[in-house]
Amino acid sequence: MHLLCPIDTVHSDILTPALDRVFGIRHMTVAAHSHRLGAAADIAEIAVAAQISCDIIELTGEDSPSQLRGTLAQIISDTELPTLINLSGASPILAALAQEVALLRQVPSFVIHPERDTLVWLNHLPNVVPAQGYNVADRLTLDGYFGLFGCEIVEVSVDLKHRNPSLEKLARHMAWFASRDSRQLYSLMQHVVRADENGLTAPLPRELQPYLMPIEQAGLITLLHGGELKLRDAQALRFLNGGWLEYWLFAEAASLIGQCPIHDLACGVQIVTHDGVKNEYDLAILCNNQLYLVECKTQQPENRQTGRGVGNDVLFKLDSVSHLSELDARAMLVSVSRPTEHEIHRADEQHIEIVCGHDLVNLRERLRDWLKSN
């Protein structure tokens, strides 16, 4: 089959049907106006990487419906394969014109429901599969998703192929520690970041000793007789200074595979755009062909008297990076400290989910409800 995709905006729905073997797509054509040719090239690159050949056709005559109809009709005429038209990325005008061509040429056309990730036939001919309401297969990877939006993943800390069960187990202990006594956790983190060049800390309060035994058993620290601890290396420092929360998030999200349609996830995801803009996401989840981004915060609350405050700058950053390069990602903040009422209101306005404080022990359930609600 040949898949014709007129585009004006970028969505994963443009490409996911081509990656689903049920559609039988062997060749794609992405048709776009001049200002969208860069996006078309990004789509084509992901298609070719999936061994689907792809052409890019520039649409001219933006103010000439007859010319646009003619170009779309010519694309259909020039291909030897039967054509399907995917209107998921088309503007209303472009979609209307393409649908006219589909009806005139008796070519099946469809969109992918943006929230349900299901097939909606607009012009469904007899014996054409798959059926109305078909749930599109989840074969897109994080590399592919970010690539669609002109972003390249340059590094990840942990992914599904490179897990560390011992650190994930220790991260579970740290999460319990944080939910039980966050002040003691902050005390540990302060001592860790003040360690000398040899990784040696000042003596720690006795109250911390019960929490430190699992950390020593995991090999990240050595407890000394004077109450000091010695960090194993730079990785131990990063883990104890907040990296544990990323591991905890990753492990909890990975445990939901099978309960939720998660098909890729990673933490410490570093990306760079075509323009050279760099960014990092603490946790990225691809679920039902939709991107979910989670920001971690283990720092002490801004107002230590009330024990509240995650910082408006954190919410602003999360809202900003979730829409970088038109990513259209869902966003969540996971924080050891609790937000203020003002921050809760702002997060609600920005559609940012928050899990904080004692709720950390219920993170798996909160993640599952969040992924399913979207």
262 Rama sector, left if φ>0, alpha if ψ -120 to 50, beta otherwise: beta
Given a cut of 90, whether residue 319 has pLDDT beyond it is no
Q: Report the 10 Å Cβ neighbour count for 320.
A: 12
CB 150 within 8 A of CB 30: no
* Cα 195 from Cα 3, distance rounded (Å): 59
Instruction: Note whether 2-137 and 140-374 share their fold.
Output: no
Check residue 309 and give its pLDDT.
66
Q: Is 304's pLDDT higher than 60? A: no
- The residue ranges of every structural domain in the chain are 2-137, 140-374
Q: What is residue 357's predicted lDDT score, i.e. its pLDDT? A: 80
pTM of the model as a whole: 0.90
Task: Give percent above pLDDT 90 in the chain.
Answer: 66
Give CA–CA dist 37/57, Å, rounded.
Answer: 9
Please give the structure tokens belonging to residue 276.
């050279």
Task: Please identify, in words, the CATH class of the domain defined by 140-374.
Answer: alpha beta
Distance CA 119, CA 110 (A): 7
The predicted-structure confidence for 95-140, as pLDDT tens digits, reads as follows 999 999 999 999 999 999 988 899 999 988 777 779 999 999 999 9
Burial class (CB in 10 A: 0-12, 13-18, 19+), 348: exposed
Note the pLDDT of residue 323. Answer: 73
Picking from 13-27, 168-182, 252-266, 340-354, which range would have the lowest pLDDT averaged per residue?
340-354
Residues 92, 96, 102, 108, CA torsion sign: positive
Pairing of strands 83-86, 2-7: parallel
Q: What is the pLDDT of residue 307?
A: 56
- Does the domain at 2-137 match CATH 3.30.70.3280? Answer given as no
Q: Is the pLDDT of residue 324 over 80?
A: no
> Does 241 have pLDDT greater than 80?
yes
